[in-house]
Amino acid sequence: MHYISTRGRTPPMGFQDTVLEGLAPDGGLLIPERIPDVRDRLSYWATLSYQDLTFEVLREFVDLPGEDLRGLIERAYKAFAHPEIAPAWRVGPVWILELFHGPTLAFKDIALQFLSQFFEYVLEKRDARLNILGATSGDTGSAAIHGVRGQKRVNIFIMHPHGRVSPLQEKQMTSVLDANVFNLAIDGTFDDCQTIMKSVFRDVEFKRRYSLGSINSVNWARVMAQIVYYFSSGLYVMAQTGAPRVSFSVPTGNFGDVLAGWYAAQMGLPVGQLVLATNENDILARFFNTGTYRVGHVVPTLSPSMDIQVASNFERYLFYRMDRRADALSAAMESFAKTGSLSVSGRDELFRAGVGKTEDTLATIRRYRDEHGYLMDPHTAVGVHVAERHVRAEEPMICLSTAHPAKFSAAIEQATGSDCAHHPTLDALRDAPTRCDRLPNDEKAVRAYLAARVG
């Protein structure tokens, strides 16, 4: 499998170079040159463990020896607390896919534990070093930091919006004191952090000089690893219910998680609907309902990982919506950068979209705790609220649960009236020492910080 850029001005490259590049040199996003068709393997895949299924899915995309790939997968998931890695449960009218059993209690662990293992593997083989620059709205940063902390060939620089992630999310990042970890609190929004990151990566000379790589969902390996849990849960729920297909509801801000579901459907998983759920920052929901993608103002909410206006992965999807025409996509993205708006004709019938506002989020958390004895975090609650409007008979609805509720204990207490969301890993962080540097919302300041510490 080779990878091409959505902008069409980067020569095709192999998987290993694709992952190390992160963002394509021409400013586009790297995607597989073709989407594999696996419909003839679904019956066999339904019998596999999560790790074995991961191997089968990933070998459609990677250029690693089989034994090496299996080793990376085994090491990536050995730290997960649940033997099924991503278990699915029937809860009331929906199924809940729990993606928070990794070391930082968020769905980002599933991809980033694999990616961190891959970095260590390929850098050792190439006798190379990598300086990771990332932006986070909450969970990506801690998952990436915990994946590469202490690695000798990697430094990691994570930007987060100052005061706009939950206290526990911030603590999970800033309490990691390893010498190769640098936390940067930026005076701005997540979109500002993401804009700085993308601008730095577009400077190819700077990127090469300082050996920069990405762990954000612009990195194809992130999307690729997330495809697996759509197959694992979809095949499991179909087997349990006898349904011919399933639907998924995905709380999303950056479009990476739901994009993985779209790829799974294109590969042949029987998916009836992809329900895209946003909070008040509803740019993606508005696009799928109107065809217009228009930037608004970021609104702080109880689901801060979704407090995003410009979704970094959306360009990958637009490339396909524009019939894989890199010239049309490039023109649209250049226009969007100037005007903050773009429109696409037609409708993708696979997608449904809706919004879960703060009052909906609190009500859903409270109702599922009271009626079903199940506690969910606010991001999951947004997805469940929107999902309930789209449940179809004979088509089970699988809702992605993206974080452990204890990561958002204040929201849980606000919803339920009790301090009932705890996890020993998080409770242990409350008095932990931290290290973080605060920087202005300024690309030059970030570049200078990087240069001074990389050397």
The 8-class DSSP code of residue 81 comes to: S
Residue 430 contacts residue 409 (beta carbons within 8 Å): no
Say how far apart CA 36 and CA 60 lie, in whole Å.
7
b/e code 366-389 from CB counts within 10 Å (16+ = b):
bbbbeeeebbbbbbbbbbbbbbbe
Where do we find the tokens 């993708």? 348
Residue 288 contacts residue 260 (beta carbons within 8 Å): no
Q: Are strands 437-439 and 94-98 parallel, antiparallel or unpaired?
A: unpaired
Say how far apart CA 246 and CA 397 lie, in whole Å.
6
Q: Which of 427, 190, 178, 388 is nearest to 305 (CA)?
A: 190
Token pair of 412 as six digits = 């849980």
Half-sphere exposure of 39 (CA within 13 A, CB side): 7
Say how far apart CA 453 and CA 322 lie, in whole Å.
41
* E strands in 221-350: 246-251, 271-278, 292-294, 341-343
Say how far apart CA 247 and CA 261 lie, in whole Å.
10
Q: Are strands 437-439 and 181-186 parallel, antiparallel or unpaired?
A: parallel
Which amino acid makes up residue 280? Answer: E
Which amino acid makes up residue 411? Answer: A
Q: Which of 93, 94, 112 is nearest to 103 (CA)?
A: 112
Strand arrangement, sheet containing 181-186: 212-213, 130-135, 154-161, 181-186, 437-439
Positions marked catalytic:
108
